[in-house]
Amino acid sequence: MTDKPDSDEELISDASASPDTQLPPRDILDIEPVYEALGHSRRRYLCYTLLEDTEWSLTDLATKIAAWENDVPEHAVTEDQREEVYVSLYHAHVPKLVDEGVITFDDVTETITTAEHAQQVLTALEGIGASLDSNQEQHARGDMDE
Amino acid sequence: MSERSDDGIMDADDPTGGADTPYTQVAQRHYEPDGHGGLTTAIVHAIAEAEGVSPSEVKSPPLYESVDVPAIEDAFFGPDVSEESLQVTGTVEFQYTDYLVKVRSDGWIQIYEPSEPEQV
């Protein structure tokens, strides 16, 4: 950014320019995964947990999210509640975040780890969370109560 | 995928209707948009019932790879769906492994599997 003091002007002129003349700066293009990643409360919760630890098992994540959503301690989460969240993570939210480059998922161990776009998503989330979403953030970052 | 040639795999609006239909319904489940859990979960539960396994055992591939479920959710059950459009039933169908999955705008999720030719 520092070597492009006139980036605002470039952006405006880019709107009418052909794609091959001048693309927007890379950091502008990369805002897309941030919005896509944070568009569902379960994905936001998952991203909050990544602020605390960069590797999670899918079962632990499902347990934490079910505890948050049902407002019970982790040890009181029922198998049905956990399974409901687990299924939506496995079939929807985890592959979505993998697609957006926020996490990687190991099929065999069923663990997720941060990927190349994690940092910018987490940075955005910290800014949002502090003002709008702090209860969820605190819960996600808290210790498991098992 | 199928070796069956032109016996009308997709030519009927309702695959249960035609006598020579190659698909048989094996499970169905009603999705409640206001209930707990999303459409993805409801579809996976229906597939699990068809397979005779628990929902967490339905794997490979994730449903995400087959179809854009949030788009169906938005189109049929989203906040912008008007009362008038609910008067008619729309259906989206897609393939998940060997299953044909139908999602209807009235909330019914129906799972079909290819019929064995010998089996009647």
Q: Is residue B6 part of a domain?
A: no
Question: Any idea what DSSP says for residue B79?
Answer: T
pLDDT for the residue numbered A144: 79
pLDDT tens for each residue of A44-70: 999 989 988 999 999 999 999 999 999
Tokens of B9: 């795999």
**Please, which pLDDT band fits residue B37 given cuts at 50, 70 and 90?**
confident
**Cβ contacts of B9 within 8 Å, gap of 6 or more:** B2, B22, B23
Query: Number of structural domains, chain B?
Result: 1
Q: Is residue B2 part of a domain?
A: no
Instruction: Decide which of A112 and B88 is more confident.
Output: A112
Q: Is residue A14 part of a domain?
A: no
Answer whether A127 touches B (CB < 8 Å).
Answer: no
Contact B64 A84 (CB under 8 A): no
Q: Is residue B84 part of a domain?
A: yes
Q: Is residue A85 part of a domain?
A: yes
Q: Is residue B79 part of a domain?
A: yes
Q: Is residue B8 part of a domain?
A: no
pLDDT for the residue numbered B21: 57
Q: Which domain holds residue B67?
A: 23-114
Q: Is residue B3 part of a domain?
A: no
Is B55 strand, coil or helix? helix
Tokens of B111: 């799972």
User: Is residue A14 over pLDDT 50?
Assistant: no
Cα–Cα distance measured from residue A141 to residue A92, given in angstroms and rounded to the nearest whole number = 22
Give the gap in angstroms from C-alpha A73 to the nearest C-alpha of chain B. Answer: 19
Cα–Cα distance measured from residue B120 to residue B22, given in angstroms and rounded to the nearest whole number = 10
User: Is residue B14 over pLDDT 80?
Assistant: no
Q: Is residue A105 part of a domain?
A: yes
**CB-CB neighbours of A24 under 10 Å:** 13
Query: Number of structural domains, chain A?
Result: 1
Q: Which domain holds residue A39?
A: 27-141
Answer whether A35 touches B (CB < 8 Å).
Answer: no
Q: Is residue A9 part of a domain?
A: no
Nearest CA in chain B to A90: B62
pLDDT tens for each residue of B83-116: 666 677 899 999 999 999 999 999 999 999 998 7
Q: Is residue B100 part of a domain?
A: yes
Residue A53, burial from CB neighbour count under 10 angstroms (0-12, 13-18, 19+): exposed
Q: Is residue A73 part of a domain?
A: yes
Q: Is residue A71 part of a domain?
A: yes
Q: Is residue A11 part of a domain?
A: no
For position A75, which CATH number holds?
A: 1.10.10
Q: ipTM exceeding 0.90?
A: no
pLDDT for the residue numbered B57: 94
Nearest CA in chain A to B96: A91
Element (H, E) at A72: none
Span of A15-24, A136-145, B19-28, B97-106 with lowest mean pLDDT: A15-24
Give the gap in angstroms from C-alpha A120 to the nearest C-alpha of chain B. Answer: 24
Task: Select from B36, B38, B56 the Cβ nearest to the Cβ of A83.
Answer: B56
Query: Residue written as tokens 């179809």?
Result: B67
Mean pLDDT value of segment A81-97: 96
Distances (CA, A) of B2 to A106, B66, B96: 31, 18, 14
Is B20 strand, coil or helix? coil
Task: Select from A91, A94, A99 the Cβ nearest to the Cβ of B44.
Answer: A91
Best CA proximity match to A86, nearest among A69, A73, A100: A69
Q: Is residue A16 part of a domain?
A: no
Cα–Cα distance measured from residue A110 to residue A76, given in angstroms and rounded to the nearest whole number = 23
**Please, which pLDDT band fits residue A120 given cuts at 50, 70 and 90?**
confident
pLDDT for the residue numbered A7: 46
